[in-house]
Structure 1
Amino acid sequence: MKISLDWLRTLLPTDKPAVEIGKLLTGSGLEVEGIEELESVPGGLRGVVLGTVLTCEKHPDADKLSLTTVDVGDGTPRQIVCGAPNVAACQRVVVALEGAMLYPSSGEPFKIKKSKIRGAASEGMICAEDEIGLGQSHAGIMVLDTDLPNGTPAANYFGLGSDSVYEIGLTPNRADAASHYGVARELRALLRQPCHLPDTSKFHAPTEAAQTISVTIEDPEACPRYAGLLLENVQVGPSPEWLQRRLRSIGLSPINNVVDVTNFVLHELGQPLHAFDANQITGNQIRVKRAEAGEKFVTLDAAERTLKAEDLVIADAHGAPIALAGVFGGKTSGVSNETTRVFLESAYFQPAAVRKTSQTHQLKTDASFRFERGTDPNMVLPALKRAALLLQEVAGATIAAPVVDEYPTHIGHTAVRLRLPRVEKLVGQFIAPERIRQILTDLDILISEELTDEQPTTSNQQPTWILSVPPHKVDVTREADVIEEILRIYGYDHVALRPHNSATFLANFVKPDPEILRQNISRLLSGMGFSEIITNSITNSTYFQKPGEKNEELVPLLNFNSADLDVMRPTMLHSGLEVVRYNLNRRQRDLKLYEFGKTYHRQADGQYQEKNKLVVYLTGNTASETWQQKSEKATYHQLAGAVQQVLAALGFGSPTSQPVQHPYLAGGLTLLAQNQPVAQLGAVSGAVLKQLDVTQPVWYAELDWDWLIKKYKNNLVARELPKFPEVRRDLSLVVDKTITFDQLQQIARRTEKKLLQTVNVFDVYEGDNLGAGKKSYSVSFTLQDTTQTLTDQAIDSVMQRLIQQFEQQAGAVIRR
């Protein structure tokens, strides 16, 4: 959600800097994800000032140029060569100084430099309106009528202030803040400054009319309130510049003055509106009703939709739909350039009714976004009046009939019981009742009654307030919700940490703490040069579905906001590859990434399952090219080494392996501990890389974090340094290509369990001189006895037994 600070200040005047306001909003739960600085014209006219032409003479070497001196307010007149035919002495003009960057209405930006024109020095430029982006005219320079002193920034003269636009990550429970007025209410409580609704005191509607449009609500549960107003003499056309600028500041494109006003009021007050062409409403009647199952309806986007019986629609006198209530208008009743009569709708729809229709027809609009979360029924009439006054101003409209306001099911305030000692208990700090009362008042929460409850077991009295919560606070229905509201405004930063924290409930924490283990592994991977990422648990179902097939294991979302984010991820691979793609597109090709997260699965019995995973990605080069070394491509073995270090840190230092069976990997290994698959690693298949538009190979590992934590072995025991030296012996083994090093390692460890410390392969060779289907492993063996120095006889005995078992179990031939 985008919020313009300049727009916000029309509702709550404040001179607080944009960054400070952003911090306040984030601290209260409206997270400011970014602040964008907007300028009315590109460059903000920096380096452009007002000046006075002191002298103006003909250029000695050019008939169409003038040689002027200009006072720009710094005590040093500038000599400027000007080609405008209307330049003259004593004029007040706009001057671009040396170093100013200008953004003309057409053409490329250019920088003002000190130069010579036909042999005469020129120290700036006297500007026409198109040269500084203020218009299209190039007939001559701008001549101003002003008493402002020379040197005044031109932006001040033209009223071109900059604006700061907040990108707020609005959580679903904060429907009350889904508008500029909603954010202004929040700041009112944070700054203790008054905010106000736009003035609608000049709104006047006739008490009767020759012709009006009646409203009938046939489903008051789905539509508790519906108001409307008939406007005539509407002149549809472009909106004035101020209105277009307001919409553009929050990322909206102006359409026409009628539609722009409805969008403006929606983002100003949070109340969605809809404008119907009144001449297209058959029978001059609006019926709010459920649709007929199977009937067809063409929406504004020209798409024909088949309606369901649960869809709430706005219909005409014959019952024909003209809009999907709270979601989207109809093509035939929409405002066009020929529209002269408008029926303006302002309503309150039950959130669940709008959500179902929006979800069924995959229509997500600014209106449905707000209706689905809950709007303010008390804002229906103020928004309608505000829009009517604006349409009078920008479209010449006249109010032709009384306001229609059908409100069969009144929505009142919610009564909530608040125990003041409970505030201290949940917050963890005493807040004075006067401060609580002040916060509640600033949040429009009224104290309707103050009670004192007698405690049955003590003589203490517990003050209790009965609160009246307004309907725009849709998420405040319980005592805990009210306390959260108090804490948000009081400030989380104001809650002091006590030296000795305690809790009313102590769980039996499993030791070691899984979170500590996760931190340890994070430090291990970060120390190896990997960067941690956090990706979305919601992803795109098309990643996992083949054409014509339905993946029954997917966990779909019932109420998703985007077709690209409609299921819970069954694997973390694709969300990580999106991060890889994002970096590759920005020429960051050497990546070492890891992530802790969850995957989600639907089982055969219909139950859902969450699994914790640790995944690792490796792509590009692992070593940058320098004068000392060449760049090295990432390899499977580097990934495997990182995974084995993680397993070793968790107490699983010698896993076995088998060929990987993974739907998205093209070759690799599955590592097993205690005969349980704990890690799968290998190269991501080309089909997946192509699907995600990843343009280089990626190595991927996936670890079963749940099992590793459950079976964690704490082998970090301090041991005395060995007193006796270790011994290394090497063997070169020729075996069939089907024999893996893991098999050789297992043979060695079964053969010698006491003295054998490590087994390592340091070379693999394949060649015609070995024979068809053969390869050679060069393997090192580290032997050590903790009680005595190894003798040559003991070492030879171990190596002979190893050779014998390699020959018998693996068919190995020892290369001498």
Structure 2
Amino acid sequence: MNISYSWLTQFIDVDKTPDELDHILTSTGLEVDGIERVDLIPGGLSGVVIGTVLTCERHPDADKLSITTVDVGGEQPLNIVCGAPNVAAGQRVVVATVGATLHPKNGEPFAIKKAKIRGAASEGMLCAEDEIGLGESHAGIMVLTTDVPNGTPAATFFDLEADSRIEIGLTPNRADAASHLGVARDLRAVLDIPVKWPSVDAFAVASTDFTLQVRVEDAEACPRYTGLTMSGLTVSESPKWLKQRLLSIGLTPINNIVDVTNFVCHGLGQPMHAFDAAAITTGEVVVKTLPAGTLFTTLDGVERKLSATDLMICNGESDGMCIGGVFGGKTSGVSEKTTRIFLECAYFSPASIRKTAQHHGLKTDASFRYERGTDPNMPPFALKYAALLIQEVAGGSVTSDIVDIYPQPIADFRVPITYRNIDRLIGIQIDRERIIQILNALDIQTADLTESGFVALVPPYRVDVTREADVVEEILRIYGLDNVPLSPSLSANTLSEFPTTDVNQLQSRIGQVLAANGFVEAMSLSMTRPAYHDAIRASLPLTDVRLLNPLSDELSVMRQTMLFSVLEALVYNLNRRQRDLKLFEFGKVYGSSQVENESGTSSKKYHESPRLALAMVGDRAAENWLEKGQSIAFHDLKAAVHIVLASLRIQPTDQQPADPAQFQYGLTYTVNKKPVVTFGLVQPKLAKLADAKQAVYYADFDWALLIKRYSGKTSYVDVPRFPEVRRDLSLVIDKSVSFEQIQKLATQTERKLLRSINVFDVYEGSNLGNGKKAYAVSFTLQDATQTLTDAVIDKTMQRLMSQFEKELGAVIRK
């Protein structure tokens, strides 16, 4: 959610900077994700000032150029060559000084530099309105009528002062804060500054010449519905102040009527909708559901099939005009021809809106607020406020009384509170008067006060405060978590058995090991896109766990693999020019399966499994004067895998090729036939699903199995007293023979003396024959009880060579 700092100050007189508000809002639970400078014109007209043309003469070598001197408030006037036909001495003009960058309406930005034009020095530029992004005209320079001092910044003159956009990561429970007013309420509680409500005292009904009948058939889905009509309107472009407000939070202005409804929505948190009254041909607005399968075309031109539970705003009995609280219809929206409107402001059931928005896959500003819960007491006030604004920007007058259908008013929540529980949950005793002050500042009144507690009267717009613990949380977040000191001694009132392996400590230790080897920890959401799973469906052992109320289609299933979460983290960094990356993440994957009950029926069983993921992309190290950068290869990832396994004192017992559906090549290590890690080069087509264009190496550990195999015991073996011996062989073998086959055969042939085996060279060439390759392999032999003799060594090597020739068809090169 975006909040404009300038807009916010219209609701509360804060003397804090946006950066100071960052800390205050985050501490109250409205976490600030970022603060961005907003220039209503790109560049903010930095370096552009107001000046006066002192002299103007024709250029001696160019008929269409003029040489001017311009006073911009400096010690000396500027010499500027100008090609505009309307330039003249005495004019007040807009001047781009040297160093300024202009962002024209059409074309690329360009910087102003000192130059010589046909031999005449030029130290700036006199600007047309399109050259500074203020309009479309390029007929000549802008000539102003003003008495502001020379050197006045153009941004100040045109009222284009920069704003700050505060991005708040609004949690689903804080529907009350989904507006500038809502944020101001929290600041009021923390800073003890009153909120400034806009005045609606000037609202008046001019006449009742144009009255519509309104009927609500589904009061459960629409507990409150208000509306009025307005006539004599002129639909046009919004005034500058209104457009600036919407642009400051990232909205695109449409027209003055629609812009007012959006302004009220983001200002007060109350969605609204304006209908072209010409579309209400029956003279009656009916709030009802239509038969399932009814076709309805929304504002975006998409024809949708309605469900039987979709609440509709209808023209009479059957002609739908709007999906209530979600999206307007194409034929009833405000257009340039509109002169009369029906202005709607309602309170809809959150459950109804949530179901409809999910059914149609629509996420609008209105549904975002309605499905979380709006204020049922706000519609009449918001309706009057919007009507006054529409009169200001579009003319016209109110031509009907306000219709307010509210059969069962929603009462405040009554929540019994005891001071004992407040003290227990917070951990300290807060002054009782301070508690009441905090709650009152949050619009939570108190009744039935006694020495032991009170009853909190919570307004219905606080849909997240319905229990005693919720009220205590409100007190704590305003009082400040930082103001609660830690106890000198922490204790628990339960006695639990702790496992031998502390999982958290072990995870922390492995994280430190990976960090020491250049990896950076990533943390991602457990929700992901269904399309990712569809790409590897045959490799997934379980069924997707789908969310009943997803925040978006992109986050509608729980992940079954961490691959795509890590890929998205890589892409996020790669897009910000972080090209050499090594990431690790501890997380969980989820799935479901069908199990048969004793009664013969089946039910779903849900599974949750902890995993550890590694990912590498780019170069293993930055290039320097000593060596060039080398791209990460499979064995870099393999080394990292072995570091993790070695840190856990786990030795794989077998290996197989990795799943080709996910890896172009790779390995799966097993321990007692159970896979503990799969790693390799990710299939390019899977990487591209997350927009990763580089080669990505990925490892997936079964963290639960690793923890189970980890004993925590340290073993020590004495350094052998007798020396080891190395012997090398060059084996010419078929290309189909893998090193793993050579290794297995060697260890089976010589179990007592063979300590290790390693490939140190591979050769392929036409002189070996078709389908052949040569391995240079080293063998390390050692006897823990005595020094090896040449006879024993030769006998061992001969036995190995004989097996290689017999089992693998190898040719020993001598």
Aligned to 2:252: 253
**Is 1:472–2:469 an aligned residue pair?**
no
**Is 1:529–2:526 an aligned residue pair?**
no
For each residue in 1:541-577, what CA deviation from the matched residue of structure 2 results, as whole angstroms up to 9, or x when unmatched? 1233379999971222222243333222222223333
Name the amino acid aligned to 1:267.
Answer: H
Label 1:534 to 1:726 Cα distance change in 2 as closer, same or farther (>3 A): farther
Q: Helix, strand or coil: the match of 1:488?
A: helix
Q: Return the match for 1:607 from 602, 605, 609.
A: 605
Higher mean C-alpha displacement, 242-251 vs 332-341: 332-341
Higher mean C-alpha displacement, 265-274 vs 18-27: 18-27
When the two structures are superposed, what TM-score results if normalisation uses the length of structure 2?
Answer: 0.89
Gaps of 5+ in 1: 453-462
Higher mean C-alpha displacement, 371-380 vs 215-224: 215-224
Post-superposition offset of 1:615: 2.0
Counterpart mapping for 1:203-242 below 5 A? 203-205=203-205, 209-242=208-241
Name the amino acid aligned to 1:199.
Answer: S
Counterpart Cα distance in 1 of 2:83 and 2:486: 70
Aligned to 2:725: 728
Counterpart Cα distance in 1 of 2:707 and 2:573: 31
Counterpart mapping for 1:162-181 below 5 A? 162-181=162-181
Aligned to 1:456: none
Label 1:132 to 1:626 Cα distance change in 2 as closer, same or farther (>3 A): closer
Label 1:498 to 1:235 Cα distance change in 2 as closer, same or farther (>3 A): same
Label 1:770 to 1:507 Cα distance change in 2 as closer, same or farther (>3 A): farther
Q: Helix, strand or coil: the match of 2:697?
A: strand
Q: Helix, strand or coil: the match of 1:189?
A: helix
For each residue in 1:225-256, what CA deviation from the matched residue of structure 2 results, as whole angstroms up to 9, or x when unmatched? 11111111222222222212222222222222
Q: Return the match for 2:532 from 543, 565, 577.
A: 543
For each residue in 1:329-368, what CA deviation from the matched residue of structure 2 results, as whole angstroms up to 9, or x when unmatched? 2223222232222111111111111111111122221111
Q: Return the match for 1:519 from 508, 532, 537.
A: 508
Label 1:766 to 1:604 Cα distance change in 2 as closer, same or farther (>3 A): farther
Aligned to 1:267: 266
Name the amino acid aligned to 1:186.
Answer: D
Counterpart Cα distance in 2 of 1:105 and 1:690: 36
Q: CA RMSD in A?
A: 3.4
Counterpart Cα distance in 1 of 2:440 and 2:782: 77
Label 1:598 to 1:780 Cα distance change in 2 as closer, same or farther (>3 A): same
Aligned to 1:451: 450
Label 1:104 to 1:794 Cα distance change in 2 as closer, same or farther (>3 A): same
Label 1:199 to 1:731 Cα distance change in 2 as closer, same or farther (>3 A): same
Post-superposition offset of 1:212: 1.7
Residues 40, 247 of structure 2: 8 Å contact kept = no
Residues 572, 615 of structure 1: 8 Å contact kept = yes
Q: Helix, strand or coil: the match of 2:172?
A: coil
Label 1:505 to 1:148 Cα distance change in 2 as closer, same or farther (>3 A): farther
Counterpart Cα distance in 2 of 1:63 and 1:775: 80
Aligned to 2:599: none
**Is 1:553–2:543 an aligned residue pair?**
yes
Aligned to 1:18: 18
Aligned to 1:98: 98
Residues 652, 713 of structure 1: 8 Å contact kept = no
For each residue in 1:728-752, what CA deviation from the matched residue of structure 2 results, as whole angstroms up to 9, or x when unmatched? 3234256666654445545555666
Aligned to 2:31: 31
Counterpart Cα distance in 2 of 1:370 and 1:644: 50
Q: Helix, strand or coil: the match of 2:620?
A: strand
Label 1:647 to 1:690 Cα distance change in 2 as closer, same or farther (>3 A): same
Post-superposition offset of 1:534: 2.8
Post-superposition offset of 1:763: 3.3
Post-superposition offset of 1:716: 4.2
Residues 221, 409 of structure 1: 8 Å contact kept = no
For each residue in 1:467-492, what CA deviation from the matched residue of structure 2 results, as whole angstroms up to 9, or x when unmatched? 11111111111122122222222223
Counterpart mapping for 1:360-509 below 5 A? 360-452=359-451, 463-509=452-498
Q: Helix, strand or coil: the match of 2:188?
A: helix
Aligned to 1:47: 47
Aligned to 1:670: 668
Counterpart Cα distance in 1 of 2:732 and 2:479: 75
Higher mean C-alpha displacement, 414-423 vs 101-110: 101-110
Q: Helix, strand or coil: the match of 1:276?
A: strand
Counterpart Cα distance in 2 of 1:268 and 1:257: 16
Name the amino acid aligned to 2:185.
Answer: R
Post-superposition offset of 1:726: 4.3
For each residue in 1:673-708, what CA deviation from the matched residue of structure 2 results, as whole angstroms up to 9, or x when unmatched? 122111122332344345455434333321111111
Higher mean C-alpha displacement, 53-62 vs 757-766: 53-62
Post-superposition offset of 1:64: 6.3
Counterpart Cα distance in 2 of 1:131 and 1:211: 47
Name the amino acid aligned to 1:305.
Answer: R
Label 1:512 to 1:731 Cα distance change in 2 as closer, same or farther (>3 A): same
Aligned to 1:159: 159
Label 1:736 to 1:76 Cα distance change in 2 as closer, same or farther (>3 A): closer
Residues 724, 784 of structure 1: 8 Å contact kept = no
Residues 536, 661 of structure 2: 8 Å contact kept = no
Residues 188, 194 of structure 1: 8 Å contact kept = yes
Residues 662, 680 of structure 1: 8 Å contact kept = no
Residues 600, 609 of structure 1: 8 Å contact kept = yes
Counterpart Cα distance in 2 of 1:644 and 1:482: 51
Q: Helix, strand or coil: the match of 1:167?
A: strand
Name the amino acid aligned to 2:349.
Answer: Q
When the two structures are superposed, what TM-score results if normalisation uses the length of structure 1?
Answer: 0.89
For each residue in 1:183-209, what CA deviation from the matched residue of structure 2 results, as whole angstroms up to 9, or x when unmatched? 111222222211122211111126x73
Name the amino acid aligned to 1:180.
Answer: H
Label 1:708 to 1:355 Cα distance change in 2 as closer, same or farther (>3 A): same
Aligned to 2:335: 336
Counterpart Cα distance in 2 of 1:60 and 1:750: 98
**Is 1:574–2:564 an aligned residue pair?**
yes
Counterpart Cα distance in 2 of 1:467 and 1:550: 54
Label 1:509 to 1:588 Cα distance change in 2 as closer, same or farther (>3 A): same
Residues 292, 309 of structure 1: 8 Å contact kept = yes
Label 1:716 to 1:66 Cα distance change in 2 as closer, same or farther (>3 A): same
Label 1:142 to 1:642 Cα distance change in 2 as closer, same or farther (>3 A): closer
Residues 535, 686 of structure 2: 8 Å contact kept = no
Name the amino acid aligned to 2:219.
Answer: P
Residues 444, 470 of structure 1: 8 Å contact kept = yes
Counterpart mapping for 1:770-789 below 5 A? 777-782=775-780
Higher mean C-alpha displacement, 485-494 vs 374-383: 485-494
Name the amino acid aligned to 1:464.
Answer: G
Counterpart mapping for 1:114-133 below 5 A? 114-117=114-117, 119-133=119-133
Residues 722, 786 of structure 1: 8 Å contact kept = no
Higher mean C-alpha displacement, 351-360 vs 102-111: 102-111
Post-superposition offset of 1:710: 2.0
- Of all paired residues, the percent bearing the same amino acid is 54
Counterpart Cα distance in 1 of 2:192 and 2:590: 45
Aligned to 2:600: none
Label 1:278 to 1:548 Cα distance change in 2 as closer, same or farther (>3 A): farther
Post-superposition offset of 1:635: 2.9
Name the amino acid aligned to 2:704.
Answer: D
Gaps of 5+ in 2: 596-603
